[in-house]
Amino acid sequence: MISSSPFSRANASFRRVLVAAAMAGGGTVLLMPGEAAAQPAQRAKPAAAASAAATPAASGGQGQAMLLETSGKWQAFSSQQGRAKVCYALSKAEVRLPANLKDIEGMFFVSSRPGEGVRNEISFVMNFDLKEGVEHQAIIGNERFALVAKGQNMWLKNPAEEPRMLDAMRKGSGLEVKGTSKRGNPTSDKYSLAGISQVVKRAEDACK
């Protein structure tokens, strides 16, 4: 989906995704519809900070995501929040550098929100503060895609490149996200792309 601003397509509820447990072994992922952040004309956060991931999701108003499929390093989920349905493919970084960030998980989402006309939106949750106003990168083989950051999260600088990036991911074996922390330190997350085609399609079909 193409929008006039790289930050205009956010869904505040979905962007407050709370990762309540590790994905390994079919871990549970809960969605928490937090209040919209005051960020006019900008995308809201795709997830809470990693420190919030361990917080029990027990309060009212939460919707538990339903696991649809697992393939390789990827899982597909769907969730209903009132009338709003969200479906997404999710993976976590296998390798994270520098080493002092190894206990903070990086997450990769490919999400669809049919109520907003959003399909296969690509986003990353780094779970540490990023430098804003600079260009970060996603690298798949010889393909490079510019990313922009807001807080602890990243999106494609040009949303029109999402179909090309998805095609590269389906053909590739791995993806590296190179970013710069708020303190100016270079960072790197590496993801396996094994299973992504099947899982993204499952999530996409669930939100038709």
Residues 6+ apart with CB under 8 A from 83: 115
Q: List the chain domain ranges.
A: 14-206
pTM: 0.74
pLDDT of 77 > 70? The answer is yes
For position 106, what pLDDT does the model report?
A: 94
Q: How confident is the model at residue 17 (pLDDT cuts 50, 70, 90)?
A: very low
Residue for token digits 């990036």?
165
For position 59, what pLDDT does the model report?
A: 32
Q: How confident is the model at residue 63 (pLDDT cuts 50, 70, 90)?
A: low
Q: How many C-beta atoms lie closer than 10 Å to residue 34's C-beta?
A: 18
Q: How confident is the model at residue 100 (pLDDT cuts 50, 70, 90)?
A: confident
Contact (CB, 8 A) for 122 and 147: no
pLDDT of 195 > 90? The answer is yes
For position 133, what pLDDT does the model report?
A: 94
Average pLDDT, the chain: 76
Burial 118-142 (b: 16+ CB within 10 A, else e): bbbbbbbbbbbebeeeeebebbbee
Determine the topology of domain 14-206 in CATH: Immunoglobulin-like (2.60.40)
Q: How confident is the model at residue 114 (pLDDT cuts 50, 70, 90)?
A: very high
End-to-end CA distance of the chain: 15
Q: What are phi and psi of 140, to 5 degrees?
A: -130, 105
For position 168, what pLDDT does the model report?
A: 97
For position 141, what pLDDT does the model report?
A: 95
Q: pLDDT tens, 141-190?
A: 999 999 999 999 999 999 999 999 999 999 999 999 999 999 999 999 99
Distance CA 119, CA 158 (A): 15
Contact (CB, 8 A) for 15 and 45: yes
pLDDT of 29 > 80? The answer is no
pLDDT of 97 > 70? The answer is yes
For position 206, what pLDDT does the model report?
A: 95
